[in-house]
């Protein structure tokens, strides 16, 4: 009888993490927008943040791109460390994205998970076409329940009025994912 020996050299799965605790209330929160530079990302996320702040008595404290000095950067890279530190210091909630392509979805999820690990609830703004990818990547990167705001596709190329409608309509969903409803 032969004995099979298996070489245990597979790569371990990702380190899993949990969501940052949900706030007891959204009133008084400091909301930030982390814009990856995708077309219209800043437009739709800033509108959602401002509408949310007005609705719940919070304040938008930071709107920034993810690159060095808050400038535009490749959407397919993690957030600049100095910008990340500012987000952690100046925000209680971050909207990040737009996750509407493969690599930008991956790095929006990476940024959100890093913020959650730092104790800051983060919502990835994605689209209907990229929701499955965002969910798959979230699980692969160790946080299956990453908070998502799913908007219609596409964000880029959509007129400002429509983006505002989508953002305004999405505020209730943001409240739900942040408050754990």
Question: What are 33-82's pLDDT values in tens digits?
Answer: 999 999 999 999 999 999 999 999 999 999 999 999 999 888 999 999 99
> Among candidates 49, 15, 71, 39, which has minimal Cα distance to 155?
39
User: What does the chain come to in residues?
Assistant: 181
All domains of the chain in start order, with CATH: 30-179 (3.40.50.2300)
Cβ-contact 98, 104 below 8 angstroms: yes
pLDDT at 9 over 70: no
- Please report which confidence band the pLDDT of residue 3 belongs to, taking 50, 70 and 90 as the band edges: confident
- For residue range 95-143, what is the model confidence (pLDDT) as tens digits? 999 999 999 999 999 999 999 999 999 999 999 999 999 999 999 999 9
Cβ-contact 96, 75 below 8 angstroms: no
**What is residue 73's predicted lDDT score, i.e. its pLDDT?**
85
């Amino acid at each position: 009888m032969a004995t099979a020996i298996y070489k245990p050299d597979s790569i371990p799965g990702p380190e899993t993490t949990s969501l940052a605790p949900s706030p007891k209330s959204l009133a008084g929160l400091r909301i930030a927008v982390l814009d990856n530079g995708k077309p219209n990302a800043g437009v739709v996320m800033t509108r959602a943040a401002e509408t949310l702040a007005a609705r719940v008595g919070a304040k938008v404290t930071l709107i920034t791109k993810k690159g060095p000095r808050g400038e535009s950067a490749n959407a397919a890279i993690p957030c600049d460390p100095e910008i990340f530190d500012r987000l952690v210091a100046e925000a209680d909630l971050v909207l990040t994205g737009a996750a509407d392509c493969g690599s930008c979805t991956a790095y929006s999820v990476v940024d959100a998970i890093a913020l959650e690990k730092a104790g800051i609830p983060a919502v990835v703004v994605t689209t209907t076409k990229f929701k499955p990818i965002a969910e798959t990547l979230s699980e692969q990167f160790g946080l299956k329940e990453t908070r998502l705001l799913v908007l219609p596709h596409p964000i880029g190329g959509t007129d400002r009025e429509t983006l505002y409608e989508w953002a305004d309509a999405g505020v209730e969903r943001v409240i739900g994912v942040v408050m754990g409803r």
